[in-house]
Each structure stands twice: as structure tokens, then as C-alpha cells.
Amino acid sequence: MYNVVFVDDREDQFIILNQVKREAKDTLDFFEFVPEASIIDTQKAISKKAPDLLLLDYRLDEKPVRDDKIAEYKAGPVAQQFRDSAIEDYKNDFPIFAVSHEENIRLYDPDKTAHDLFDQIWFKNFFVDHPNDAVNQMISFIEAYKEIIDCFNTENILHKLLQINAEEVGFIDSHFFKDINKLKAPNLVSINIFKTFINRSWLLLDKDNLLARLGIHPDDKESTHFNELTRIITENDIEYSGIFGSGFQRWWANRLKGFFEGRYSVALGDLTSAERVEKISECTGLKFQPALSRWTNNSDTYVSFACSSCKNPTEVEYSVSAYDPVPHPVIGKNRICWSCIQTGEYGDRGFLVDDSDEFTADKIRHGKIVFG
């Protein structure tokens, strides 16, 4: 059993974990309490529970907690206390999630801090709407930290955690390997790996990007035939099994490409969506709808990734670069489809256009670039 501690200044919020507790069964043990007025007392109370994962309500200062006193601090300073302790003794490190209602969590901006204190930032409704995903992802973070701690301060830590082969090593900037080995605490390793590999699709593909690479329409995402195709893929060592893999299903982009080229002599990238699903059907007997370009609304198109904003299959030629600051060069920065620029929905989802493509985006916004 892993210990999960949830701290919130409103006791009525503890109910959000009810369904999660049922899903967790014998894997997670939950401890809930309101914070103390003193941040030191809160830290001590948390430490007594020996958390494997800590959930902190972002706003701990909204309601009186003890003797009508308000905790005059938010989640950040509490997390900072534990992050500082982890630098002194890395074996005591554990994942910390900030949780809140949407209007509160928007106040937190990790890009304006020295480093991100939190492994994840979740809206509270995620626990209610997706309890199984919440459980799997929490466990994956707990186990990830234990893996990191076990091999911390050893050589080639990234090779071990990602379980990469020689080809994949060549895709990763060499300085990233060196910098990971220099990090002073497991939480820094965790956050860097998650942001660089799990939370972006380039070397590892999420399901939306897997569909785009295969030229398959998103409506087939949960179909029986797509489940069978992912089974075939998994049997051929394409599914990712490294750190975080138990909570975030991913596939190796290079292995997917090699699989179709090696077994079926098919270079998917050279085919339109319609041609890809036709070839996949010829090779496997499985039937799919071809992915449609959101901009042209046809399948005679070379989609290659999922738009970072709407998640629809997208072509490079009908997309712009998103502002996407990363510490090291990586393959395939986030991109936004022209349709999301036209509707403005990318802004509602927290994306910005990179300066290099702002000229094109401005033309789309003002109707100077339209389909047809």
C-alpha cells in the first residue's frame, strides 16, 4: 500500500476522492486533513504520515482552519519545504501534485518560478470524472520516484529509466544526458523527464499522435479494430514500458516506423491518410476511417501529428509553431493547426504562437489566409 496525503483547508472537498478510493482498492491508502495555521506544523503533520505522494490544494489560505486562524500560505511554500529537504536527503523525495478548482489553479505559473515545484497540476474534477486514470497516474508517479531513487547518482540514469536502445539515444541531445546526471534531487529528474518525453509527442507518441502517424480518424480511437492494431504493435516491442509508462500509455515513434517498413515494406510518412489506412487494411485485415485534415476536410493529405490544441490529425503545412520553451533541443516542438488559429480556441487552451510564425497566424486571424 502506498500512502497518499491530501491537504485542503475545506473539509467538504475531501469527498472528491471517494470514487478514487474505490478504484484504488488495495493499492493506495489516503490520509486527509486541513492545514495548520503554521506552515512548519503542517509540514510535520504531513511527514508523520510518510507520504508516497502528496496532494496539496493550491489555495490553503481561504478558510479558517484552527481557532479561526487562516493558514497564511499557499501550496507552493509547503512544497518548497519538502523540495529543500530532498536536496539534503534524496531518499526522502516524493511526488507532489497541486490540485484546485480551475479559477484558482490558473494563478500558478511555473514558468515564472526557479523550477516547477509540482509534478502535476490537476483540476479537482479530474478525480471525479476520471478516477481510474487518476489512480493509475498517481501510482505511476509513486513508482517512478522509487525507480529514480534506486538509481540516483549512478551513470546513464536516463538510459535505465526510459529503457532506450542505441537508436533512441541518437535522437536525444547529448547534453540532456549529462544534465540529468547533474540534477540534485529525484523530483528534478522526474519533472524533466515527464515534461520532455511523456508530456510531448516526438520520440514517444500518445494515442492522438499515434492515430495521426497511422492516418486513422480519431473516431476510431476506441474501436475494436484499433484495439487489435495496438495489440499487434505492443507484441512487437513498440509500446513504451519505461518510467511513467504504467500511467501514461505511449509508443516509440522510431520503432513504429521501423515496424511498418520492416514487416510490410510500407513507409507511412510517404502516404496520404487514405493511402495509409488502405495499406494497413491490406497488411492486417483491419478497417479504419482515414484521418481528415481539419483545414481542408479531406483525407488526401499528409497528416503527421496531432494539433497540440485540438488534438486532431494535422499537417505541418497547415500549422504553426507554438511558443514552447524547452531547456534542450528536441524533435517536434508543439504545433497548432490553422483551424485553431482561425477560431482562436488555442488561446483558451493556454497556447501561444511562436514569434517565428506570428506573421502567418496573424494573416489567418484576419481572414487573409482561408481554405480554397
Give me the mean pLDDT over the 278-284 stretch: 94
Q: Mark whether 138 and 94 lie in a shared domain.
A: yes
Indicate if the pLDDT at residue 313 is higher than 70.
yes
Average pLDDT estimate for 198-216: 95
Q: Which long-range contacts (CB under 8 A, 24 or more apart) does 352-356 make?
A: 352/322, 352/323, 353/320, 353/321, 353/322, 353/323, 354/320, 354/321, 354/322, 354/323, 354/324, 355/323, 356/321
Q: How far apart are the first and last CA of the chain?
A: 59
Write down the pLDDT at residue 111: 47
Percent of the chain exceeding pLDDT 70 equals 93
Q: Say yes or no: 13 and 111 in one domain.
A: yes
Same-domain check for residues 255 and 343:
no
Say yes or no: 53 and 102 in one domain: yes
pLDDT class of 93 with cuts at 50, 70, 90: very high
Distance CA 195, CA 215 (A): 26
Residue 241 and residue 317 in one domain = no
Residue 290 pLDDT greater than 80, yes or no: yes
* Same domain assignment for residues 6 and 137: yes
The domain of 168 spans: 153-198
CA distance linking residue 84 with residue 302, whole number of Å: 48
Q: What is the mean pLDDT of the chain?
A: 91
**DSSP designation for 223:** -
pLDDT for residue 300 = 95
Q: What does the pLDDT look like over 68-92, one tens digit per residue?
A: 778 888 899 999 999 999 999 999 9
Average pLDDT over residues 191-219: 94
DSSP structural state of residue 322: B
Does residue 332 surpass a pLDDT of 70? no
What integer pLDDT is reported at residue 114 of this predicted model?
37
Closest by CA position to 306, among listed 282, 261, 337: 337
pLDDT at 59: 87
Are residues 302 and 264 located together in one domain of the fold?
no
Cα–Cα distance, 38 to 69 (Å, whole number): 10
In the chain, what's the furthest Cα-to-Cα distance?
72
Q: What is the C-alpha to C-alpha distance for residues 20 and 128, in angstroms, rounded to an integer? A: 7
Which of 264, 286, 308 is a domain's end point?
286
The pTM of the full predicted model, rounded to 2 decimals, is 0.92
pLDDT of residue 370: 86
Same domain assignment for residues 237 and 259: yes
Looking at the structure, do residues 229 and 175 belong to the same domain, yes or no? no
| One domain, residues 245 and 221 | yes
Q: How much is the pLDDT for 72?
A: 84
Band (pLDDT 50/70/90 cuts) for residue 104 is low
Share of the chain above pLDDT 90, in %: 77
Q: Note whether 54 and 133 are same-domain residues.
A: yes
Co-location of 142 and 172 in the same domain = no
Distance of CA 147 to the CA centre of its chain: 19
Mapped onto helix, strand or coil, the DSSP state of residue 228 is helix
Select from 261, 286, 311 the last residue of a domain: 286
CATH of the domain at 118: 3.40.50.2300
* Res. 359: pLDDT tops 90: yes
Domain count, the chain: 4
From CA 291, how far away is CA 72, in angstroms rounded? 52
